[in-house]
Structure 1
Amino acid sequence: MYQEERLHTITEHLHTHERIAVDDICRWFDVSRDTARRDLSKLEARGEAVRTHGGALLAEKRHPVTDYAGRLQLVSEEKKRIGSMAAAMIHPGERIILDASTTVQACTEAMPDIACTVVTNSINQADILSTRTEVDIHLLGGHLDKEHRFLYGTSVIERLKTYQVDKVFLGVLGVSENGLTLAHEEDGWVKRQMVKQAAEVIVLADHTKLGKADFFTYAALEDVDVLITDRPPSPAFQSILAQHHVSVQTADADKGATS
């Protein structure tokens, strides 16, 4: 069988089952593991699959990352529900980190005015919280990415190292077996340090981000404690999350919050 014929069959399987194992390809087509991996590499290069350890997941179509203001215009009801559920996890006296993402901004907007400490590299989060009299804000100083509204650089990372917090709330462009990913490496290095400083890592991601991988990986799935999303993940992806002990909280519009 020619490679293109194998790729067609593999792609059909991915669209039906959302994942495939190298061992399955070897067994079905009587090919070596190296050949199976080359097939998956070709599908990944085409944007049809995301390679994982031992196989691949179905890739979602990627879209260009618009600037922060543009993404705010697209904040959906799903993201608002996710943000409200995340805000309900913030309690008086806690120290938290909020990153510079639009889904986390939905959490910020839903936060009550309670006595807590917030560390952030987002000028938007700091501006919103500046009207909350009880919230103590620590804005991390560094180089400003004007388009995407976050502060980054060595000074931000070094300052982060001095804080120990209860929780960090993070946005992503992709959550897959490969971990948490986003488009901008500069923001990724900051988020990576945020993960290290928090006792509990909470990821906010609507269903379009699940099973998707973007350019820069800043954390592994085993680093994540809680994933808040708007729809239950597919059975295949739920299995992956369970293997990494990630608790899934679902802000479902019809059924209410579930876990």
Structure 2
Amino acid sequence: MFADERKKIMLARLASHSRLTVGEICRELDASESTVRRDLQDLEELGLLKRTHGGAVALEIASFEPSLLEKDVAFSEEKHTIAELACSLIQPEETILLDAGTTTLEVARILPNYRLTVVTNSLPIAQELSSREAVQLLLVGGEYRPRTGACVGLVAVQTLQKLRVDRVFLGTNAVDVNFGVSTPNAGECATKTAMVDTAREVVLVADHSKLDHVSMFQVCSLARLAVFVTDRALPLVYQEECRVHQIQVVVPEPIDS
């Protein structure tokens, strides 16, 4: 049996039982203990499980993670503003990657009528774009998370690792000047990190409410960003960090009083 097949079986077992032991997997897969432990180490490095003495457990993070509906209604005007600014960066014939999230969903809703290739791991975004004739749509599969509408995990990561895109529009739960971009879910983190790695340019789309927050899993540092699109001027400490790392900050034009 190939390593990828073993890992898929391990993740399926964790999804249904929340924990597994090395002995159980060795017997089920007819694999050596060293092979199983190596597979578990690989999956832990991808952020898909937590190894324990004698096995592994599923990662259920206690950090608060709002649902897709809760996020969609929060700061909706700000998200629309950010989406308009983000869409101004898109050029015809580009290949773009839209991360799952409500801000990126708003980007999809008002996407320019260009010929584009759009890659996404978001079922709501795929549904939004499914009737757009100018858009060539590639849906990244994986373990579906109803809470966020995202496909995540090993299959998603492996698919993304085989792609190259012009730019990724990355959403987030939290942004911190020191810890960077982070998320409360391990599977989401591994998938977002793979998105960052596959893109020529990383565009963070996040409203001001996400600033000065840290979730458990780091996706990337601010230094990895090319563009930061937000709904108001950044605090000075963020402006300085963006200046040091040559990150383009895109905010709305101030309204004259």
TM-score, scaled to structure 1: 0.71
**Secondary structure in 1 matching 2:252:** strand
- Indicate the larger mover: 236-245 or 128-137: 236-245
**Secondary structure in 2 matching 1:158:** helix
Distance verdict in 2 for CA 1:249–1:219, change over 3 Å: same
Show the counterpart of 2:56: none
Show the counterpart of 1:99: 99
Between the aligned partners of 1:174 and 1:141, the Cα distance in structure 2 is 24
Which residue identity lines up with residue 215 of structure 2 in the other structure?
D
Matched, 1:247 2:217: no
**Secondary structure in 1 matching 2:168:** strand
Which residue identity lines up with residue 166 of structure 1 in the other structure?
D
CA offsets per residue over residues 3-62 of structure 1, 9 Å max, x none?
Answer: xxxxxxxxxxxxxxxxxxxxxxxxxxxxxxxxxxxxxxxxxxxxxxxxxxxxxxxxxxxx
CA RMSD of aligned residues (A): 1.5
Offset of residue 252 of structure 1: 4.5
Show the counterpart of 1:190: 191
CA offsets per residue over residues 61-88 of structure 1, 9 Å max, x none?
Answer: xx94321122212242111000111112
Q: Is the 8 A contact 2:175 2:212 kept in 1?
A: yes
Between the aligned partners of 1:97 and 1:253, the Cα distance in structure 2 is 29
Show the counterpart of 1:152: 152
Following TM superposition, where does structure 1 have runs of at least 4 consecutive aligned residues deviating by more than 3 angstroms? none
**Secondary structure in 1 matching 2:78:** helix
Show the counterpart of 2:171: 171
**Secondary structure in 2 matching 1:251:** coil
Q: Is the 8 A contact 2:97 2:168 kept in 1?
A: yes
Show the counterpart of 1:199: 200
CA offsets per residue over residues 140-192 of structure 1, 9 Å max, x none?
Answer: 11111112110012111111111111000001122212111112111110010
Show the counterpart of 2:129: 129
Between the aligned partners of 2:231 and 2:240, the Cα distance in structure 1 is 18
**Secondary structure in 2 matching 1:65:** coil
Between the aligned partners of 1:251 and 1:107, the Cα distance in structure 2 is 16
Between the aligned partners of 2:207 and 2:253, the Cα distance in structure 1 is 11
Matched residue count? 193
Offset of residue 104 of structure 1: 0.9
TM-score, scaled to structure 2: 0.72
Matched, 1:65 2:65: yes
Between the aligned partners of 2:219 and 2:66, the Cα distance in structure 1 is 20
Matched, 1:86 2:92: no
Between the aligned partners of 2:75 and 2:68, the Cα distance in structure 1 is 11
- Indicate the larger mover: 183-192 or 237-246: 237-246
Runs of 5+ unmatched residues, structure 2: 1-62
Between the aligned partners of 1:245 and 1:174, the Cα distance in structure 2 is 21
Show the counterpart of 1:229: 230
Q: Is the 8 A contact 2:233 2:251 kept in 1?
A: yes
Runs of 5+ unmatched residues, structure 1: 1-62
Identity %: 31
Between the aligned partners of 2:198 and 2:108, the Cα distance in structure 1 is 20
Between the aligned partners of 2:144 and 2:71, the Cα distance in structure 1 is 18
Between the aligned partners of 2:191 and 2:180, the Cα distance in structure 1 is 16
Show the counterpart of 2:109: 109
Between the aligned partners of 1:73 and 1:179, the Cα distance in structure 2 is 25
Between the aligned partners of 2:75 and 2:123, the Cα distance in structure 1 is 18
Offset of residue 251 of structure 1: 2.2
Offset of residue 98 of structure 1: 0.3
Distance verdict in 2 for CA 1:68–1:184, change over 3 Å: same
